[in-house]
Amino acid sequence: MFDIAHILDVLIESYPLFMKGLWITLKLTVVSILIGTGIGLVFALFKISGIKILNWIANIYIALIRGTPLIVQIFIFYFGLAELGISAFWSAAFGLAMHNGAYIAEIFRGSIQSVDKGQMEAGRSLGMPYGLTMRRIILPQAFKRALPPLGNQFIIGLKDSSLASFIALSELFSIATTQGSRTFDEMTYLIIVGLYYLILVLLFTLLVNMLEKKLSAGE
Residues 6+ apart with CB under 8 A from 204: 151, 154, 155, 158
**Under rule CB under 8 A, residue 218 binds other proteins:** yes
Selected from 129, 183, 194, 202, the binder of other proteins by CB under 8 A is 129
CA 102 distance to own-chain centroid: 10
Alpha carbon distance 9, 11 (integer Å): 5
Alpha carbon distance 183, 171 (integer Å): 18
**Under rule CB under 8 A, residue 159 binds other proteins:** no
Of 24-32, 36-44, 70-78, 138-146, the window that binds other proteins (rule: CB under 8 A) is: 138-146
**Under rule CB under 8 A, residue 13 binds other proteins:** no
**Under rule CB under 8 A, residue 119 binds other proteins:** yes
Selected from 50, 69, 85, 118, the binder of other proteins by CB under 8 A is 118
**Under rule CB under 8 A, residue 132 binds other proteins:** yes
Alpha carbon distance 8, 105 (integer Å): 42
Alpha carbon distance 175, 165 (integer Å): 8
Alpha carbon distance 53, 33 (integer Å): 26
**Under rule CB under 8 A, residue 212 binds other proteins:** no
**Under rule CB under 8 A, residue 125 binds other proteins:** yes
Q: Which residues bind other proteins (CB under 8 A)?
A: 116, 118-119, 121-129, 132, 136-137, 140-141, 144, 218-219
